[in-house]
Amino acid sequence: MERIHPQPERLLMKIRAFSPLRPPNDLADVVASPPYDVIDSLEARRLAMGNPKSFLHINKPEIDLPETASLYDDAVYGKAKENFERFQQMGWLRRESRPGVYLYRQSYQEHSQTGVVAVCHTEEYDRDVIKKHEKTLKKKEDDRTRHVKTLRANAGPVFLMVRAQPELKTLMAEVESTAPDVDFVSDDGVRHTVWTAPDPDRLCELFGAIPVAYVADGHHRSASAARCSRDCALANPSHTGEEDYNWFLSVLFPEDALQVLPYNRLVKGLGGHTPERLVEAARAAGFAVKPVEDGIPGAPGDIRMLVAGQWYQLMFPVTTDADPVESLDVSILQTHLLGPVLGIEDPRTDSRIRFKGGYDCVNLLEQQVRNGQADVAFSLYPTRTEDIMAVADAGLIMPPKSTWFEPKLRSGLFVHTF
């Protein structure tokens, strides 16, 4: 007799309109800044120099303290709160008078992507309706949790993706056909355009038909928002689940609109091999190896290796029923070459390996191998959005440095407070 399993409760996405703090439209380009986790303190000081309105004073508040200050010093969080309050007092961030949902488009070169700006519920993060594919580091999660608690605000949005839905994309296109609130080009050449949706309830309703979302970028921001929500709930004897602290700032993109860029590897040293022996070791490890003219992979499974001025194509046989993590190019490279041949057992901690993601990576790889900063480089085909979703759906974790989403979401265009 066939055993009938009870059907699990159907989980659906839930988003909500909110009343954000926003810069006045004519100051959006001055206030908006790169996210806190893609630049270091030195670069943040340089970018904010001469601009007291830069959101970096809130997201990277150590730039307003002596360079000797620890990133996790009490004074850093105190300065963040002080600056946040000053931005509101000066009118550089102003409260929207009524709850809204917004569209945020980023355009660079030939690529354009538009997402829905709203708040998502932390319960959906905890219940895995919002799925993850990366582990978080405790130190970084602790930092963002303290930042959120100190400001009583989500200062940076979480970058989420959802499976494409025709009706949602049609409605988004209608909004994009109207005049935007904000339209500017940032210093890195990315164009940022923002609209206020005229019918926020309709957008929220359409997300009710979407079963899950996936964290594309912002695992530490989403984890810290969920931690803060749980702490606030414990401290509130009248907790209902609908308080503002239960919601966190998000931008949700249809996955077919997104661009994932390469995340490549540079290694110092050849693990005791000569270049010729390294090529032979790759063959012995199971790769089909042949010389090629360039370092641009043509498809998943096509790994390019640069050593001694020559590019090689490395192809490894993968079965159709392979584990979704083990079949990733980053996993194949690590499992069959970086670990056993070059001796890099933990890419998170080994100082011999560096990572480069984003545009024009191949030229940089060639330059660094040529000038001796690295001895071998690996160029990978970008991880696809469908691979990310497959890993998350299986409840698995991707290897470190697997995905590079770009353009990055600007911080300071929207702030959710509670």
The pLDDT value recorded for residue 6 is 37
The pLDDT value recorded for residue 352 is 97
The pLDDT value recorded for residue 3 is 35
The pLDDT value recorded for residue 11 is 54
The pLDDT value recorded for residue 12 is 64
Q: What is the mean pLDDT of residues 340-351?
A: 95
**pLDDT tens for residues 201-238?**
999 999 988 999 999 999 999 999 999 999 999 999 99
List the CATH code of the domain at 263-381. Answer: 3.30.1760
pLDDT higher than threshold 60 for residue 2: no
* Tokens coding 39: 């630049």
Higher per-residue confidence, 143 vs 348: 143
- Would you kindly state where each structural domain of the chain is located, as residue ranges? 15-259+406-417, 263-381
CA within 13 Å, CB half, 143: 20
The pLDDT value recorded for residue 319 is 78
Q: What is the mean pLDDT of residues 110-117?
A: 97
**pLDDT tens for residues 27-72?**
999 999 999 999 999 999 999 999 999 999 999 999 999 999 999 9
The pLDDT value recorded for residue 9 is 47
The pLDDT value recorded for residue 321 is 76
Does pTM top 0.75 for this prediction?
Answer: yes
Mean pLDDT of the chain: 94
**pLDDT tens for residues 312-331?**
999 999 877 778 999 999 99
Maximum CA pair distance of the chain? 75
The pLDDT value recorded for residue 322 is 77
The fraction of the chain above a pLDDT of 90, given in percent, is: 92
Q: What is the mean pLDDT of residues 103-122?
A: 97
Amino acid at 396: L
